Amino acid sequence: MKIFTHRQSRDQFVGYQGDKGVPHAIVFVHHDLHIEIQIDRKNCRNDIAGIKGVIIESALTTIVDCEDSIAVVDVYDKIQLNRNWLSLMKGNLEARFMKGNKTIVRKLHPDRIYNSKNG
């Protein structure tokens, strides 16, 4: 069984990661949202295209209401909330906590870097 598909527009391909001839990720855009097709021909030999996975960007809408007395109860809570919000916007928010006798660090993934379709 053969399945054929195509892009609606050449402009939907916007970039890649890795070598242009043998990329390990290809990025498309549709309605300003990105789709990353991850390729790993070595470990995904059962897939004819070597596709390891697909990451689809979600459209998120978030309303942050920090004025509620439940979110912050005093000026110190407000300061901490604003520090956390700033760190989230800058991409460096992290939290450390103990799990058993081990310190666990939760942080945001770094930004992905791609080559444009023209290199």
Domain 10-59: CATH superfamily, name plus number: Malate synthase G - maily-beta sub-domain (2.170.170.11)
pLDDT in tens, the chain (119 residues): 455 556 667 789 999 999 988 999 999 998 889 999 999 988 988 888 899 999 999 877 777 777 766 778 888 988 998 999 999 989 999 999 999 999 999 999 888 899 998 87
Give the CA diameter of the chain.
65
Which amino acid, residue 44? C
Comparing CA positions, the residue from 93, 77, 97 lying closest to residue 85 is: 93
| Residue-level length of the chain | 119
Q: Which two tokens stand for residue 46?
A: 């059962």
pLDDT at residue 47, as a whole number: 87
Which amino acid, residue 43? N
pTM confidence score: 0.67
> CA 69, CA 64: separation in Å to the nearest integer?
13
Q: Structural domain boundaries of the chain?
A: 10-59, 75-107
